Structure 1
Amino acid sequence: MKRTIRLLALILTLTLALSAAAMATEIDYGKGETNATKSVSAVSLVKDGCKLKFDGDKLNVTYTNSALKEGDMVIVFLLETKDKDGKITEVKTTEAAKTLIVPTAENIKYIDQSVAKATASNGSVSFDIYPQNHTSALVRIISVNKDGTLTDVNVAAVKLNYTLGDVTGEGEVNAVDALRILQYAANVGNPKYEFSAPWAAGDVDLNGEISGVDAVRILQYAANDGNPKYALGK
């Protein structure tokens, strides 16, 4: 009897796990908007309620919601997203994108305040955010109108498009990338060197900084050297 109960419990657990996996919907950033250099993509998380368009380094966002009333104050956050190991990474599923992460001094990469305007049938708010070519993030809106109705929702997701270590954006990781990291870290060159790829591509040891250590790691990786062999991101 106990064996039967344990077996049924195991079957139920597996069924729930499979159901949860089946319900997860992968976010297709390829169907969203991409900036001119192809380094940043953005996708709406609100069906028919959020419009996105890149204008240079800016991402224009227009969010429409019947809960918004003309004159409502709206706070906009760009909140950096990371995986469990602390690596900057995009939100991968629509289910995960619904999670409202706590804004902190570390994960707030942009904050703005706007005023809602009236449309034909709903309220809307338009604003610009700046992904700044170095972070994957969620765009979150918080507003409370005069009726006390709270609007708190992630309206868009931003993804960096890069290969760790490939700061030149040429499609491979080699000694040239190490040289560019040294130039960047030392702030030398004429003009001063800026990465062609997103900033995060140069932080190969994932410590939040770009330094000569990252250049050494790239050289180790390119030469397949070290004991053990160095893998980017370790």
Structure 2
Amino acid sequence: MMTLYGYFRSGTSHRTRIALNLKGLDYDDIAINLAQDEQLEDAFKAINPQGLVPVLRADDLLLYQSPAILEWLEEAYPEHALLPQDAAGRMHVRALSAMIGCDIHPINNRRILQYLRNELSVDKEAVIAWCNRWITEGFAALETRLAADKNRGQFCYGDRPTFADCYLIPQVSSARRFKVDLTPYPNIVAIDTHCRTLKAFADADPMVQPDAPKHA
């Protein structure tokens, strides 16, 4: 049994949950409440000195940084592969993933937004505008890539979910939270809609996690 330290709304935790679910792997979930800065407490920093989620504990291994966790899962549990068999296909999936994981998500994550709000006194509307700017710029490029792939099925690549879908679905959730107009990105929306019909994705959704706020 593995243990995932994460947060319901964390995009990196979300993508890791999707990958674990697609692999059919069981894991315990330990919530680290980012809203209360639990990631900065000594107890968690003893697990990850960066103070970031997710962290995956697998026996004596402590795995951190979601791209590395996904790569480890692919190597340690090759069944239900999340990378294509051919080198060109693997490159393409990793590139799509990096477009999201390197060029969109990091500049819209909680640490950056907290700095904008608290240190630079940026107001709510300007923070939303910041998120919109970088998400729409990234999605425009990603949409072009997806539209150009004439062999693509219902996922980001081919006819089965890959790393790229693990990255995309949490970013779409974030886009909706920041009121991004998704109309210009029909391929992204179609992939998101299809993935959310699958149990592995539905069970990873932030709002069904144990630490998600419960509304009456």
Report TM bin, short chain. Answer: under 0.3
Larger RCO (CA under 8 A, 6+ residues apart): 2
Between structure 1 and structure 2, the one with the greater Rg is 1
Q: What is the TM-score normalised by the length of structure 1?
A: 0.23
Please identify which structure carries the higher strand content: 1
